[in-house]
Amino acid sequence: MNPFHLAIPVDDLAAARQFYGAVLGCPEGRSSETWIDFDFHGHQLVVHKAPRSAVVRNPVDGDSVPVPHFGLVMDWAGWESLATRIKHAGLAFEMEPHVRFAGKPGEQGTFFLFDPAGNALEFKAMRNPENLFAKQA
C-alpha cells in the first residue's frame, strides 16, 4: 500500500509540533518557518501555517461527526493504546472512544478529537479489518 500525503492548515506550528509529535508520537521530518512534515503512521502529514477552517457536522449512526476530518484505521490494540495515551495527555475527546455500527459488517471502535488548530481527527479500529469497505445490509 502506498502512503498518502495530506496537507492541513494550522495556526500555531509550535502547538502542532507538540500535538502531533509529543502527544500522538509522530516523528518529525523536514520543516521550515511555515510548515512541518510528520510521519503519520507511515503516511506524510504536512501542517502548513494558515488560518483555521470551518467545521460542519453530519449524522453517522447516532453520532454528530465533524467534517472535514481525517485519521487512521488502526489495529484494535493500537487504537486502545492511542486512546489511553490521549487520555493521559489530558486532552479532551470530541467523541469518546466507543463502538459504532455494533453487530453490523462495519462495526468499529472510533473516537474523535481536534488538534490545536481545530482540525478534526478520527481514529478507528475494525474487529474484522476485511469489513472496512463492506456495505451495510
Helix (H) or strand (E) holding 12: none
Residue ranges per structural domain of the chain: 5-49, 63-131
Mean pLDDT per 10-residue interval, the chain, length 137 residues: 92 97 96 96 96 89 94 95 96 96 91 96 93 80
DSSP string of 67-136, one letter each residue:
ESEEEEEE-HHHHHHHHHHHHHTTPPPSEEEEEESTTSTT-EEEEEEE-TTS-EEEEEEESSGGGTTPPP
Task: Say how far apart CA 40 and CA 35 lie, in whole Å.
Answer: 15
Fold of the domain built from segment(s) 5-49: 3.30.720
- Give the class (CATH, top level) of 63-131: alpha beta
pLDDT of residue 137: 63
pTM: 0.89
Task: Say how far apart CA 64 and CA 3 lie, in whole Å.
Answer: 28
Q: Which residues contact 101 (CB under 8 A, 6 or more apart)?
A: 61, 107, 108, 136
pLDDT of residue 89: 95
pLDDT of residue 127: 87
